[in-house]
Amino acid sequence: MKTYKFISWNVNGLRACVGKGFADTFEALNADFFSLQETKMQEGQLDISFSGYKSYWSSAEKKGYSGTAIFTRHEPLSVSKGLDADIHNHEGRVLTLEMPEFFLVNVYVPNSQDGLRRLDYRMTWEDDFLSYISRLDKQKPVVVCGDMNVAHQEIDLRNPSTNTRNPGFTAEERQKFTQLLNAGFIDSFRHLHPDDVRYSWWSYRAAARERNVGWRIDYFVVSNRLKDKINTAEIHNEIFGSDHCPVELTLTFDD
Please tell me the distance from the alpha carbon of residue 98 to that of residue 80, in angstroms, as a whole number: 8
Q: Are the beta carbons of 148 and 107 closer than 8 angstroms?
A: yes
Burial classification of residue 192, based on how many CB atoms lie within 10 Å of its CB (0-12 exposed, 13-18 middle, 19 or more buried): middle
Please tell me the distance from the alpha carbon of residue 4 to that of residue 31, in angstroms, as a whole number: 8
Q: How far is CA 37 from CA 72, 165, 171, 176, 219, in A?
A: 15, 25, 24, 21, 12
Burial classification of residue 63, based on how many CB atoms lie within 10 Å of its CB (0-12 exposed, 13-18 middle, 19 or more buried): exposed
Q: Are the beta carbons of 39 and 59 closer than 8 angstroms?
A: yes
Which residues, listed in sequence order, are joined to residue 106 by a DSSP beta bridge? 95, 145
Catalytic residue among 4, 32, 56, 147: 147
In 3D, which of 233, 241, 237, 248 has the Cα closest to residue 214?
237
- Say how many C-beta atoms besides its own lie within 10 A of residue 89's C-beta: 15
Catalytic residue among 4, 56, 108, 132: 108
Instruction: Examine the residue annotation and report whether 187 is marked as an active-site residue of this protein.
Output: no
Instruction: Examine the residue annotation and report whether 199 is marked as an active-site residue of this protein.
Output: no
Catalytic residues: 108, 147
